[in-house]
Chain A
Amino acid sequence: MTARVLVLGAGPAGLSAAERLLERGHGRLRVHVAHMQDVLGGKAASWRDDQGVLVEHGWHMVVGFYDRLFALMKRAGIDRDSALTSMHGDSHCYEPASNEVYTMNSGGGKLGVAARFSFYQGLPAEDRFHFARVMTQAFAIAGSGQDLTRHDDICFDTWAVELGLRPHMTRYALFRFLRIAYFNFPQQISAYHVLQTLKNVSTSEHAELFVCRAGSTESLWNPVGDHLRRLGATIEGSVLATDFVYRGDRIIGVRVGSAPPTGPLSAESIDDLTVLPGTARVLSDFDFVLSTLPVECLKRMNRDDDRMWRSSFFRRLENLRSVATMSLTIVTRRPIDPRFRGPVHGFAAPFTFFVNMKPYWREYADDEAIGAVLVFGGQEAGFEGWTDQQIIDFTLENVQSTLGALLLLDVVSIELHRNDKPWERLLLAEPGVDQFRPDPLTPFRNLFLAGDWVKNRVNLVSMEGAVCSGQEAADLLLARIAEER
């Protein structure tokens, strides 16, 4: 007997879940993937505008420890070397105290960690050795094999001070980077989330940063989608799920409709889960549902259903908060300092880091008319009431001291995107959040959850976390099918 599975969402979690179901379902599964956007990739998608220019609603990087993603790419037939390019292990840190940018390289493996911090010129010598000692201890704790979740109820700043870090050092941009990396700044980040990261990036190979040569959808998700179709999946875009229909402990239908155009290229944007008039329908051609919808979307489903949202499982989800990431792309005619090969972080919010993508994006690499493609990243907290122009002006002022007068770089174009819609927001990895992250199993026997916000072995807000979560939820679903048979 063939089991029918409806996968909601086509981001890294949805695509990896569908692939795992088809790979391990041995031809006895029918998998249908329904997602709301017109491109694959979910929050990790990219687009092309009318002129064919690459548009991402946020900068995406692939880190060396993304083993599950690399394996998925391999199975999908993606040549890693042509899809991704390394950023040479470099990252740069702007220290406002000295008004200088310092470079760090991720080379050196485990033994290099202390040395890297010890030789970081952005700190006075005594702080440098102190920082090296504390971070070496943090790496040792992260790699000790102990259950790191017990460090979740405290922010990393306080955790490090309790380990002996001198409190003023938490203000260095080098230290703030750990919050910036997960779009947590200006909020705090859970010590568990940082330790889990340190555990994963303890070797230089695992800490290496990669970027897609042609945008993540073209480089990664479209080939994975083709792979899924070859395996027998059907994929349907522009489907917006608004509610579950259930009877007892089973989902018997999903209310959906056609999604209005979304993403950074859509002229009109919607703020909530609103389907186009006259398109509402109920999907019921399934036995199981694997939802990879972002947490803010799930929180909006069945909103009027007190019975569902008063249950202990769903009520806990109310405690999960999210952040609206933002991206700003500035294309200039004149180049910037060529030593900035990796992310440059340490700037004032909202855009706390930037990357010059000119050498990495295929379309710009050989374009002599373009000097730099500066992609800034950050989050919106504290700037919700600012206009786009105010944010752009503020950001240009902030980076002028580092790059020189940015306007002298001869700006070709500036694009700002606020990813503040429910389907665009990221889980905020704040202290104490882990206890509220749900398991893939839900009170509904045929509903499974996945996404980087759902508990999984990687447990980091990242593409790797999403891929891992999708695969684990698929495994549980396969076990449930076997059990019910």
Chain B
Amino acid sequence: MVSRTRTFRSTLVALLLALTVIPTAWAEPVDATSDEDAAHPPDPFVGSYALPRERELGTTAGQFRAIGSAMLVFGGSGIEPGVHGTLELMTFPYLSVRGSLQMTVAAPDSEPLPVFVAKTGPSLHLLPYRLVDLSLFFEGGVAVVNATKTERAPMAVAAPGATFEIWLSHWAFLRLEGHVDCGLYTQSGAARKYVRAGTTFGVGLAI
């Protein structure tokens, strides 16, 4: 009986200790500078000197970016894979000039194939200085249809599009892009329409 009472008391003391000592041990240490005996009050501008973590990401003025992407083109011959590269100079936080090169690597029976396109134009960035950026662009340029065949033909193209970017660090980002290449080319004496929607996904580097 005695031992049971002692056990109960010990448990009670331990519990009280746990309730009082442990929270004290977890409490923040007291700031020495807030002590009334300190030689001076705390620095009113202490937050002005610490270098903040590099939180800023995203599109900024003056950036030069290079983006390499894989591409899928949806057109008359089904889905055609390709490669796509973009160079982009941010002139203002919201506005850039971009230039793209793309090449489709189409199936042998697709028509036309393959297509090489060089385009340039302005781009409007809607969300600079953010983790996620959206942009709208309009490019114009030249294309060569059936670039690897003897009946290759030149073509002027216009390509509106949009991009969606997710920034991984202040110098790297992922970009998903959608665009529509529109043009007219002549084959066997007949004018033919070229309308292909393309989507690209790749990695961009910004300096």
List chain A positions with a Cβ less than 8 A from chain B. 96-97, 126, 133-134, 137, 162-164, 166-168, 171-173, 186, 348-349, 382-383, 385-386, 389-391, 393-394, 397
Contacts and interface: CB of A to CB of B under 8 A. Distances in A.
B50 interface: yes
Given A126-B171, A383-B44, A394-B40, A162 B93 contact: yes
Given A348-B43, A386-B41, A137 B49 contact: no
A386 B53 CA distance: 31
Contact of B62 (A133, A186, A391, A397): A133
The 9 closest A-B pairs by CB, nearest first: A164-B62, A390-B40, A164-B61, A393-B39, A382-B44, A97-B51, A394-B40, A167-B56, A96-B49
5 contacts: A164-B62, A166-B170, A186-B45, A386-B40, A390-B40
Contacts of B48: 171, 186, 349
Nearest to A346: B49
B93 A382 contact: no
A178 to B, nearest CB: 14
Nearest to B60: A164
B111 to A, nearest CB: 46
B23 interface: no
Contacts of A390: 39-41
Given A168-B56, A393-B40, A96 B50 contact: yes
Interface of B: 39-41, 43-46, 48-56, 60-63, 90, 93, 129, 170-171
Contacts of A163: 61-62
Given A166-B54, A168-B56, A391 B45 contact: no
A391 B40 CA distance: 7
A126 B62 CA distance: 14
Contacts of A96: 49-51
B62 A172 contact: no
A229 to B, nearest CB: 47
B57 to A, nearest CB: 10
A164 B55 contact: no
A114 B90 CA distance: 20
Contacts of A391: 40
Contacts of B46: 348
A393 B170 CA distance: 40
B62 to A, nearest CB: 3
B172 to A, nearest CB: 12
A168 B54 contact: yes
A348 B49 contact: yes
B51 A172 contact: yes
Contact of B39 (A162, A164, A394): A394
B45 A382 contact: yes
Q: Which of A97, A164, A173, A382 has the most C-beta atoms of chain B within 10 angstroms of its own C-beta? A: A164
Nearest to A383: B44
Contacts of B60: 164, 166
Given A171-B51, A348-B49, 8 more contacts: A162-B61, A162-B93, A164-B61, A166-B54, A168-B54, A171-B48, A348-B45, A348-B46
A393 B42 CA distance: 12
B171 to A, nearest CB: 7
Given A134-B62, A164-B60, A164-B61, A171 B50 contact: yes
A163 B41 CA distance: 38
A57 B39 CA distance: 25
Contacts of B51: 96-97, 168, 171-172
B49 A171 contact: yes
A397 B41 CA distance: 13
Contacts of B41: 385-386, 390
Contacts of B50: 96-97, 171
Contacts of A186: 45, 48
Contacts of B53: 168
Nearest to A387: B40
Q: Which of B39, B52, B55, B129 has the most C-beta atoms of chain A within 10 angstroms of its own C-beta? A: B39
A390 B170 CA distance: 42
A172 B53 CA distance: 12
Nearest to A171: B51
A383 B44 CA distance: 8
A88 to B, nearest CB: 28
Nearest to B57: A166
B35 to A, nearest CB: 14
B169 to A, nearest CB: 11
A126 B129 CA distance: 18
Contacts of B54: 166, 168
A171 B61 contact: no
A245 B115 CA distance: 86
A206 B52 CA distance: 34
A158 to B, nearest CB: 12
B134 to A, nearest CB: 20
B44 A137 contact: no
Contacts of B56: 166-168
A390 B39 CA distance: 6
Nearest to A163: B61
A99 B60 CA distance: 29
Contacts of B62: 133-134, 137, 163-164
Contacts of A383: 44
A166 B58 CA distance: 10
A340 to B, nearest CB: 20
B44 A171 contact: no
A373 to B, nearest CB: 24
